[in-house]
Structure 1
Amino acid sequence: MNIIKKTAVCLLGTCALVSAANAGGFTRGEADTDLLYEDGTFVVRGGATYVSPHRDYDTIGGVSATDDRYTEDYVIPSFAAKWRMSDNFSCVVSYTQPFGAKSEYGDEAQAADRNADIAAFAAADPADPGYAGLQLTAALGGNAVITSEFKTNEFGGTCAANFAAGPGDFYAMGGVFLQSFDYTESKDFGTLNLKDDSAFGYRIGAAYEIKEYAFRAELMYRSEVEHKASGKFTVENAGLAGYFGVPVGTQFDSTGGGSLPQSLELNLQSGIAPGWLAYGSVKWTDWSVLQTLNYDIDNIGPQEKNFFWKDGWTITAGVGHSFTENVSGALQLTWDQGVGTGADIMSDTWTLGAGTQIKAGPGVLRLGAAVTYLTSGSQSTADGADFDATANGDWAYAINGSYKIAF
């Protein structure tokens, strides 16, 4: 059974290589807590994943669209270091970017956004509290989103205590992490930036492992994180500057807040034949916590960005094989349930991923690649979208590399 054990160590990591392109909602990277199971007193692993999503609009406002894709490429860094303090206790410190998004909208999408602002004012009731704001927005020709981006950074520490239980070992795991939040949105009126440098969360988990058969069952929970952000809104529209009697470039204080979701994931693996491993996972993410992003700009008033998401589910199944003592590989299929409800286009995805692990030099090199099919979808102003639009099936691509040294 020795070769099965080696395959298990290899392919759990290979599975992680191809996860980024199929993650639901705004999910990006995950903390590399797999190091807690690996041999070695000190183990260090670092790497990065490059993701290129190609999502564009098929129609905007019921008319065929020619804008380029609005989703932008991004990179997910990952670093982790483990110290085994005794045979029964280990800790890992880790860094990654757990959530993020980046979009740039074309001329047609911006025009539709402005027209929707004007239409919203025309349909508004003068008695509504936000009527004056709608009137100003319409008078200045609308306030379309040009670019938007947010990213998070997670610095964490997770420890595991293990003890013999029957034919295997039971693991109890727990830790805390510090998560930052940085949001930038550029619109016709100006640019908003909101930051929160320090919000705390935690993760707890349990696992049972029988190394002889490469069997492992792990359940890991990651907490919700609430962000309270502050920053500046910079006026970049001459009409808006004139309305307030200030020069272009004037900054107004801004505050905002929202939550990023909790999640619960079950991972399973088992040797099925000498040199062969089957694995799978089921993950629930509480994306329904993200209904709106609320913020307030001094002198302008409260603002809201709609999401209205539902909870997400991600299911993965894969198989791996150890070709030699030094080379192994894996192939997996992932389905992710789209979380959108019509305020944006966040549809189901299907991802085929492959990875390999190669003993190279003093350590181990891991390489992975994935292709994701983004199913068709639509958004509507009736459901909270900035403008009506549809998207046909699109594609996303990802590649990953990492290197591990143990001593």
Structure 2
Amino acid sequence: MKKILTTLGAVALGAGAAHAGGIDRSGQSTSILFEKGNYFEFSFSRVSPSVSGVGAGTAVSLATPTPLQASGDMAGNYNQISGGLKYQFNDRISAALIVDQPFGADVNYPAGTTYFARGSTASISTMAMTGLLKYRTATNLSVYGGMKYQTMSAKAKVPFLGGTSGIPYKGEASRDAGVGYVIGAAYEKPEIALRVALIYSSKVKHKFSVTESSVLSVGADASSTTEVDTPQSLNLEFQSGVAKDTLLFGSIRWVDWSNFKIAPAVYGNSLLAGAPLVSYPNDTITYSLGVGRKLNDNWAVSASAGYEKADGGFSANLGPTDGKKSLTLAAVYTRDNMKITGGVSYIKIGDALTTLTKDTEPTAANTASSFTKNHAVGVGVKIGYSF
């Protein structure tokens, strides 16, 4: 019973994370460290967002260039993969290697519309490898930590920044690698499946070689160096048995998005007088709470809800979302040393306003578009094996 209930908690903590605030995708959980004995897992998920809006205003102006014109769905579908290996050296010491895609973005405004951002595209991709070492005391208190190696690349094309010239802004950051660290502590009481864990993940510094072209650099691409720090974060994860065959679980995740920005030289200094290509005005706190139930020796199910507060103000044209609510259903089948988890998440994406000015407070005169009634669906499977 304890094994299958613990599995439900570990699986559901990360469910729905693939469309959280900023460009957060994996949730950066370290729950694999708490699997029994030696253990290997691999997971795959597919996320299908639908994000569209309409140009604001009633008359054409520099701030409202396409009133009442539909943007079309600008959020591309994407896959997430992750895997991990945990090895138990003895009763006190264990280690884990985790591979995931912690951050990402896929933007693709349809070209065949009359919306001002038509044809704009952007992508951010990351891959991280984290090595962790854990020590568990005789009092069930654990401390752990390790290093993270992360790669990141990004590119964007924004036609509307070329005005009437027909020359779009283009920028591409070549793949770069950076190093960060992870530290954590946990308390467990196995007889009631209780675990409370606190995990800190540091920021990771990247120094990109960036190539840009725009209406201001016709005939010669501009090359520069741009520094980007993926954000630090703090996860509080918990679970506890609350009745026979029943587990309560949840998490609180804080991410330091207010200090994240991508600001290439040409885009910021020449086109928008210092404005970054990607930035977020506020940090995000994402909450998750759920319940799991063992049905028999092979099957268990869970349901969980997630919430991320909307901040208001303006969102970026390349990321027109603000807050979310989610519902995740999962089932685990366990047989011998193998367990297979399947799940589906529905995410209601918060409404957002965008602007083409530097204003931070929305008004009728400075709002370029309104994005409402958007959502995402994610499905995934995880295969785990104990040995």
Q: TM-score, normalised by structure 2?
A: 0.85
Equivalence for 1:161: 135
Contact conserved, 1:58 with 1:391, CA < 8 A, in 2? yes
The reply to whether residue 254 of structure 1 matches residue 258 of structure 2 is: no
Equivalence for 2:356: 381
Equivalence for 1:151: 125
Per-residue CA shift, 1:93-123, capped at 9, x if unaligned? 111110111111234887535xxxxxxxxxx
The reply to whether residue 171 of structure 1 matches residue 145 of structure 2 is: no
Q: Which consecutive residues of structure 2, in runs of 5 or more, have no partner in the other structure? A: 59-66, 160-167, 361-365
Query: Which residues of 2 match residues 279-290 of structure 1 at below 5 A?
Result: 279-290=249-260
Distance 1:30 1:269 in 2: 17
For the residue of structure 2 that corresponds to 1:69, the secondary structure is coil
Per-residue CA shift, 1:55-95, capped at 9, x if unaligned? 10133455323332101111111010011111101111111
Query: Which residues of 2 match residues 231-242 of structure 1 at below 5 A?
Result: 231-233=210-212, 240=215
Distance 1:347 1:339 in 2: 7
Instruction: Report the CA distance between 1:21 and its aligned residue.
Output: 4.1
Mean CA deviation greater in 301-310 or 187-196: 301-310
Q: TM-score, normalised by structure 1?
A: 0.81
Q: 1:318 to 1:187 in 2, by over 3 A?
A: same
Task: Write the letter of the residue equivalent to 1:295.
Answer: P
Equivalence for 1:44: 40
Distance 1:396 1:312 in 2: 19
Equivalence for 1:8: 5
Equivalence for 1:400: 380
Instruction: Report the CA distance between 1:360 and its aligned residue.
Output: 4.6
Q: Aligned to 1:23, which of 15, 20, 23?
A: 20
Contact conserved, 2:5 with 2:300, CA < 8 A, in 1? no
The reply to whether residue 217 of structure 1 matches residue 196 of structure 2 is: yes
Distance 2:377 2:201 in 1: 26
Task: Write the letter of the residue equivalent to 2:284.
Answer: G
Contact conserved, 1:46 with 1:79, CA < 8 A, in 2? yes
The reply to whether residue 350 of structure 1 matches residue 325 of structure 2 is: yes
Per-residue CA shift, 1:229-278, capped at 9, x if unaligned? 11333x5x8xx59x74x4xxx65423222222111111111101110011
CA-atom RMSD, angstroms? 2.6
**Percentage identity across aligned positions?**
23
Contact conserved, 1:157 with 1:177, CA < 8 A, in 2? yes
Per-residue CA shift, 1:199-221, capped at 9, x if unaligned? 11111110000000111111111
Q: 1:312 to 1:30 in 2, by over 3 A?
A: closer
Equivalence for 1:137: none
Distance 2:36 2:336 in 1: 18
Q: 1:373 to 1:38 in 2, by over 3 A?
A: same
Equivalence for 1:277: 247
Distance 1:251 1:110 in 2: 28
Instruction: Report the CA distance between 1:6 and its aligned residue.
Output: 2.5
Contact conserved, 1:7 with 1:275, CA < 8 A, in 2? no
Contact conserved, 1:334 with 1:352, CA < 8 A, in 2? yes
Distance 1:72 1:340 in 2: 24
Equivalence for 1:127: none
The reply to whether residue 331 of structure 1 matches residue 329 of structure 2 is: no
Equivalence for 1:129: none
Instruction: Report the CA distance between 1:359 and its aligned residue.
Output: 1.8
Q: 1:193 to 1:384 in 2, by over 3 A?
A: farther
Distance 2:280 2:381 in 1: 35
For the residue of structure 2 that corresponds to 1:103, the secondary structure is strand
Per-residue CA shift, 1:325-359, capped at 9, x if unaligned? 11101100100123564142331211000111102
Larger gyration radius, structure 1 or structure 2 = 1
Instruction: Report the CA distance between 1:387 and its aligned residue.
Output: 7.1
Equivalence for 1:66: 70
Equivalence for 1:182: 153
Equivalence for 2:340: 365
Contact conserved, 2:342 with 2:381, CA < 8 A, in 1? yes
Distance 1:18 1:308 in 2: 23
Per-residue CA shift, 1:124-177, capped at 9, x if unaligned? xxxxxxxxxxxxxxxxxxxx8720111111111011100121xxx111010110
Distance 2:262 2:90 in 1: 45
Equivalence for 1:192: 171
- Report how many residues are paired: 359
Contact conserved, 1:326 with 1:359, CA < 8 A, in 2? yes
Contact conserved, 1:14 with 1:356, CA < 8 A, in 2? no
Q: 1:212 to 1:362 in 2, by over 3 A?
A: closer
Distance 1:187 1:58 in 2: 18
